[in-house]
Amino acid sequence: MFIKVVKDWIRRSNKLERIWLLAKIEFKLRYYENKLGLLWALIKPISDIFIYYIAFQKILNQGIPNFVSFLFIGLILWNFFVECTSGTVQILSTKKYLYEYTNMNKIEIYLSTILANCIGFFFNLFFFIIFYEFIDKGTLGLSWTAFYFIPIFINTVLLALAFSTILSSIYVLAKDITQIWMVITGIGFWVSPIVFNLEKFRTALPGADHVNPIAGIIINARNVLLYQKSPEWNLFVFDFIYAAILILIGAFLLNKVGSKASEKL
């Protein structure tokens, strides 16, 4: 299916333009329809940072240096993943108008929604960099290792796409996957090193950084952005393999179950 999509793109060049158009409209609907506009994208991680800072740094006194930057990058990656996946569980129902009357490829609908989330993510990443470089005191600063963040983010997008196709296909058969996924992401948040010291996290939950793929993404993002280190290569490779396998499963389900969405939903 993916090879067919790429071939189609080359043949009919309006596909990239269409994905971008749908992404812009999705982004506008999400952020510009309320009075706070784009600021809303930033308020969510800032309010989360405030709460977790009080709980984990002040009350539990974890002693993690530059805890706000540590939280900031972890939260925006996690929120990006959750928004992409939660926002696409019902996509075959909410975006039915796009494929019900034409032979448009459904994968474009997923890509446009994830692209809309990317715009919000880059907005947050920009503020993270400003905060980390110029406001947070005593940081190491960004170095050349920050370039590793590009493949790490691509990996996150691939995971989001894979989970989106899997979940939305399941939705065709079982509507309560929306609530079940909310519970899973709720658990996933705590089975990740977003708010915890990495050593304590690994001691308490050995192997969790491999079970939860976003845990590995966050660990490596912190290595390359906060600590001027290279990624942990085993996690880096493992998460790409994880994404590749899930994408194959997602493509299979979309082809088998998602293709019947127009008659089942």
CB of 44 to another protein, least distance (A): 22
Residue pair 81/214 in contact (Cβ under 8 Å)? The answer is yes
Which residue's CB is nearer to another protein, number 119 or number 198? 119
Residue pair 223/230 in contact (Cβ under 8 Å)? The answer is yes
DSSP 221: H
CB of 167 to another protein, least distance (A): 12
Which residue's CB is nearer to another protein, number 2 or number 50? 2
CB of 22 to another protein, least distance (A): 7
- Helix (H), strand (E) at residue 70: helix 67-86
Nearest Cα residue to 113 out of 75, 76, 73, 163? 163
CB of 6 to another protein, least distance (A): 17
- Helix (H), strand (E) at residue 44: helix 39-52
CB of 42 to another protein, least distance (A): 24
Which residue's CB is nearer to another protein, number 181 or number 236? 181
Binding positions for another protein, rule: CB under 8 A: 12-14, 17-18, 21-22, 25, 29, 96-104, 173-177, 180, 259-260, 262-263
Which residue's CB is nearer to another protein, number 61 or number 102? 102
Q: Count the Cβ atoms, other than its own, within 10 Å of residue 178.
A: 14
Distance in angstroms (rounded) separating the CA atoms of residues 85 and 28:
19
Residue pair 31/20 in contact (Cβ under 8 Å)? The answer is no
Which residue's CB is nearer to another protein, number 175 or number 200? 175
